[in-house]
A and B are shown apart, each in its own frame.
Chain A
């Protein structure tokens, strides 16, 4: 019994990481239809921000807390810049955004290599997050709990922004009907850029969280990017709850399979499961109903 519980906690914590890295994509890919391959490099930017801040601020706990908003701003600014330079020219060619941003991600990886060196670096975790909590025979790693909390907080924040603020209303309007939003007086270009800023900023926050569970390196983004896209694809576009459910479901599935087989077999089985799932619901778990044919 404890084995099962421990294993499901592992699954939930994998899911929390997946959710954090996919959350930004839910905005930029799910809502705007832009396939941003440089999203992984925005995660990397967030991780390196943590690394730099830790060098200048003493105390791992303090630097982590400062890193969260700073990484959000750094990655968000990079995203807004990318949107302004390239992506806004490509809204009618969604597939090409994938290739263009892949080029950008190559350059950003090399930039990281030139600035920080090719080998991975590591940050120290705050004391508070290094231990475990044991409840009834189940061990919770503190850093995993922190990531879980952070992921849920981000989901909550994003939901509140999208549901309650004027900005969120404008974002949803642009997503549902760009032309109608435009004639209603919404500055769609500015909304696009803001959406991209928030989505990329969330990647930065994910980067901060990832420093707690793994090394920081120029190629760290590529390791997560495909998984993150799969979460959004399975979850369905334009719906936060799809991503949340999918991330945790995939996390638990992955951890259960890893327990009974190997990591590599688990990856393959998860992929087969995703293709099978898309047979059942080709548009993903949840989808925004529109009257368009596509």
Chain B
């Protein structure tokens, strides 16, 4: 396309508007506190062990959505390969837990390796994961390192828009295919299953499951706070500027590649952490959880909820994950249609997601066109 995309109008604070009231100033910390109370206080009391465990799983998707909101919503980088980083984090964690489980029963090899009979020695790249600190560090550092490597080459040469989206998607496909191919050392299609312990705690014990839930909820809240700080920082402004007009930012003397790289790497780290926490909550990590389809799934929630709004993206991810598991069991066919339709309507007709619904409705009611909120575009190609 040679047409230039029209630049979204900038939000300029209306001088006629009154200064923010006390209520407005405490809106963000207040909402954060409310979320913390709901997640850490109300949910564990109100939900059964089974449902709390499900919620823990959804919260892992929400953690990925925080990164998606940063990279895509703010940075305009359509990250379609978050499954790669989710998978790297998940496998790093699962490899350690499998080794720990094996050590508990006096074995040197994880159960599936004995099954496939590939010899008695652990592959060299499995060995460091016996160390819990190394494994924990790898859940975040490995995805970030891969993202840094890919991002460096891709952004430096100004590969952007659709090209970046397709490359990131191909990356997810490649990792999933590679994992399936290396059955003897990665568990192949099955992945790493049947994880029993979590750093010395028995995962079959409901009390320990609850502990895992609390860890996940705390990490989500922490990362949301971190992302919020990034959004309001100078860096956050720069990221939005790169999304809306990369050339202009370049002419001003900044390096857009570096700005995008940071967002991509941070989002990757968040996805890796989410994958690592997913493993004790669900007890499994497999290629089916990280290929193209789940990778797009990570984006769906954020798109439906509102990509540019942090809370919108997180709530969207939770809602879609919840709808997926409740509706897809009862009406698998109807759910697929609904999921497709939801996606078409949300992205096609409500690009700001459900988070922008209030704004859209308000604007319809009051026909005033002087100040328009910049609608998040998908970034210029």
Q: A106-B339, A275-B154 are in contact. Are A292 and B4 (CB under 8 A)?
A: yes
Query: B193 → chain A, closest Cβ, in Å?
Result: 20
Residue B359 interfacial (CB < 8 Å): no
B337 cross-chain contacts in A, Cβ below 8 A: 106-107, 110
CA distance A104 to B345 in the complex (A): 10
Tell whether, in the assembled complex, residue A100 and residue B347 are in contact, meaning their CB atoms are under 8 Å apart.
yes
Query: B287 → chain A, closest Cβ, in Å?
Result: 10
Q: How large is the interface on A (under 10, 10 to 19, 20 to 34, 35 or more residues)?
A: 35 or more
A90 cross-chain contacts in B, Cβ below 8 A: 348
Query: A77 → chain B, closest Cβ, in Å?
Result: 19
Q: Hey, what's the 0/1 contact readout for B154-166 against A, CB within 8 Å counting as 1?
A: 1011110111011
Tell whether, in the assembled complex, residue A222 and residue B3 are in contact, meaning their CB atoms are under 8 Å apart.
no
Q: Hey, what's the 0/1 contact readout for B120-137 against A, CB within 8 Å counting as 1?
A: 000000000000000000
Partner among B80, B341, B348, B381 whose Cβ is within 8 Å of the Cβ of A107: B341
CA distance A86 to B348 in the complex (A): 7
A282 cross-chain contacts in B, Cβ below 8 A: 157-159
Tell whether, in the assembled complex, residue A226 and residue B170 are in contact, meaning their CB atoms are under 8 Å apart.
yes
Tell whether, in the assembled complex, residue A103 and residue B341 are in contact, meaning their CB atoms are under 8 Å apart.
yes
Tell whether, in the assembled complex, residue B174 and residue A268 are in contact, meaning their CB atoms are under 8 Å apart.
yes
Residue A13 interfacial (CB < 8 Å): no
Query: A49 → chain B, closest Cβ, in Å?
Result: 22
Q: Which of A112-163 contact B (CB under 8 A)?
A: 113-114
Q: Hey, what's the 0/1 contact readout for B285-322 against A, CB within 8 Å counting as 1?
A: 00000001100100110010000000000000000000
Residue A6 interfacial (CB < 8 Å): no
CA distance A90 to B380 in the complex (A): 12
- The stretch from A67-75, A196-204, A240-248, A258-266 touching chain B is A258-266
B5 cross-chain contacts in A, Cβ below 8 A: 92-93
Partner among B178, B181, B336, B344 whose Cβ is within 8 Å of the Cβ of A86: B344
Instruction: Across the interface, name the chain B residue whose C-beta is closest to A98.
Output: B165
Q: Hey, what's the 0/1 contact readout for B333-362 against A, CB within 8 Å counting as 1?
A: 100110111111001100100000000000
Q: How large is the interface on B (under 10, 10 to 19, 20 to 34, 35 or more residues)?
A: 35 or more
Tell whether, in the assembled complex, residue B4 and residue A294 are in contact, meaning their CB atoms are under 8 Å apart.
yes
CA distance A274 to B153 in the complex (A): 11
Tell whether, in the assembled complex, residue B169 and residue A100 are in contact, meaning their CB atoms are under 8 Å apart.
no
Residue B182 interfacial (CB < 8 Å): yes
Tell whether, in the assembled complex, residue B340 and residue A104 are in contact, meaning their CB atoms are under 8 Å apart.
yes
Tell whether, in the assembled complex, residue B2 and residue A110 are in contact, meaning their CB atoms are under 8 Å apart.
no
Q: Which of B166, B171, B177, B342 has the most CB of A within 10 A?
A: B166
Tell whether, in the assembled complex, residue A278 and residue B154 are in contact, meaning their CB atoms are under 8 Å apart.
yes
B347 cross-chain contacts in A, Cβ below 8 A: 96, 99-100, 103
Q: A92-B6, A275-B150 are in contact. Are A104 and B333 (CB under 8 A)?
A: no
CA distance A230 to B172 in the complex (A): 13
Partner among A35, A179, A271 whose Cβ is within 8 Å of the Cβ of B162: A35
Tell whether, in the assembled complex, residue A99 and residue B343 are in contact, meaning their CB atoms are under 8 Å apart.
yes
Tell whether, in the assembled complex, residue A176 and residue B2 are in contact, meaning their CB atoms are under 8 Å apart.
yes
Residue B173 interfacial (CB < 8 Å): yes
Query: B133 → chain A, closest Cβ, in Å?
Result: 29
B153 cross-chain contacts in A, Cβ below 8 A: 275-276, 278-279
Residue A29 interfacial (CB < 8 Å): yes
Q: A96-B351, A226-B173 are in contact. Are A29 and B2 (CB under 8 A)?
A: no
Residue A94 interfacial (CB < 8 Å): yes
Residue A102 interfacial (CB < 8 Å): yes
Residue B272 interfacial (CB < 8 Å): no
Instruction: Across the interface, name the chain A residue whose C-beta is closest to B163.
Output: A233
Partner among B78, B165, B180, B343 whose Cβ is within 8 Å of the Cβ of A103: B343
Query: A247 → chain B, closest Cβ, in Å?
Result: 15
Residue A19 interfacial (CB < 8 Å): no
Instruction: Across the interface, name the chain B residue whose C-beta is closest to A225.
Output: B292
Residue B167 interfacial (CB < 8 Å): yes
Q: Which of A173-218 contact B (CB under 8 A)?
A: 175-179
CA distance A212 to B158 in the complex (A): 40
CA distance A282 to B155 in the complex (A): 10
CA distance A94 to B379 in the complex (A): 9
CA distance A103 to B76 in the complex (A): 20
B381 cross-chain contacts in A, Cβ below 8 A: 33, 94-95, 294
Q: Hey, what's the 0/1 contact readout for A248-291 against B, CB within 8 Å counting as 1?
A: 00000000000000111101100100111011001000000010
Residue B1 interfacial (CB < 8 Å): yes
Tell whether, in the assembled complex, residue A103 and residue B339 are in contact, meaning their CB atoms are under 8 Å apart.
yes
Partner among A100, A222, A267 whose Cβ is within 8 Å of the Cβ of B177: A267
Tell whether, in the assembled complex, residue B348 and residue A89 are in contact, meaning their CB atoms are under 8 Å apart.
yes
Tell whether, in the assembled complex, residue A293 and residue B348 are in contact, meaning their CB atoms are under 8 Å apart.
no
Query: B63 → chain A, closest Cβ, in Å?
Result: 21
Partner among B166, B299, B344 whose Cβ is within 8 Å of the Cβ of A229: B166
Residue A32 interfacial (CB < 8 Å): yes
Tell whether, in the assembled complex, residue A104 and residue B177 are in contact, meaning their CB atoms are under 8 Å apart.
no
Tell whether, in the assembled complex, residue B159 and residue A278 are in contact, meaning their CB atoms are under 8 Å apart.
yes
Tell whether, in the assembled complex, residue B343 and residue A100 are in contact, meaning their CB atoms are under 8 Å apart.
yes
Tell whether, in the assembled complex, residue B178 and residue A267 are in contact, meaning their CB atoms are under 8 Å apart.
yes
CA distance A282 to B156 in the complex (A): 10
Instruction: Across the interface, name the chain B residue whose C-beta is closest to A262.
Output: B181
Q: A103-B342, A178-B2, A292-B4 are in contact. Are A113 and B333 (CB under 8 A)?
A: yes
Tell whether, in the assembled complex, residue A178 and residue B3 are in contact, meaning their CB atoms are under 8 Å apart.
yes
CA distance A100 to B300 in the complex (A): 10
Residue A63 interfacial (CB < 8 Å): no
Query: B299 → chain A, closest Cβ, in Å?
Result: 7
Please name 17 pairs of A and B residues whose Cβ atoms are closer than 8 Å in the assembled complex, sorted by A.
Answer: A92-B6, A99-B299, A99-B343, A102-B296, A103-B340, A104-B344, A106-B343, A107-B336, A178-B1, A233-B163, A263-B181, A267-B173, A271-B170, A274-B170, A275-B150, A292-B4, A294-B4
Closest 5 CB pairs of A and B: A264-B181, A103-B343, A95-B378, A33-B1, A107-B340
A278-B167, A293-B247 given; name 4 further pairs at CB < 8 Å.
A93-B5, A103-B340, A114-B333, A278-B159
